[in-house]
Amino acid sequence: MKSNLLGKYLLVVFLYTVSYIDASDAFEQHCVPCHKQMNISLQKTFMKALLVYGGKENMKAGLAYYFKNPHINTSVMDEEFIQKNGIKQPIEIDQEQLEEALDIYWKRYTVIGKLQ
């Protein structure tokens, strides 16, 4: 019985630690909460951005520009989405954290090199 309780305790500690670590990166802090709140799929948004920008470096540069200078003409979202939700406000994040968040976004949602 004691070992079962100890196992459950260790599992809870592990899960808490993992969630704390994940929440500490720039992507989890600055991107995920807004997308969750608005119920916007990060994966679908990634695919739209990839179609618009065509590759890693163009996508990261385009999104970085958009996050600092959002405008209807530079959004990857469709017109219906923009009419319903509007254009986001400029993100308040330093350049280093923005680059970290975009790197994590790319690694998390790209399928390049993951298909077998």
Q: Is residue 11 part of a domain?
A: no
Which domain covers residue 52, as residue numbers?
Answer: 26-109
Residue 66's nearest CA partner among 80, 79, 52 is 52
Q: How confident is the model at residue 59 (pLDDT cuts 50, 70, 90)?
A: very high
Is residue 64 a part of any domain in this protein? yes
Q: Specify the pLDDT at position 30.
A: 87
In a domain, 8, yes or no: no
DSSP string, the chain: -HHHHHHHHHHHHHHHHHHHHHHTSHHHHHTHHHHHHHT--HHHHHHHHHHHH-SHHHHHHHHHHHHHS--GGG--S-HHHHHHH-PPPPP---HHHHHHHHHHHHHHH--TTT--
Residue 24 confidence (pLDDT)? 78
User: How many distinct structural domains can be found in the chain?
Assistant: 1
What pLDDT does 88 receive? 86
Residue 16: pLDDT band by 50, 70, 90 thresholds?
Answer: very low
Q: What is the pTM of this model?
A: 0.72
102 within domain boundaries = yes
Which has more pLDDT, 32 or 12? Answer: 32
Considering the domain boundaries, does residue 62 fall inside one? yes
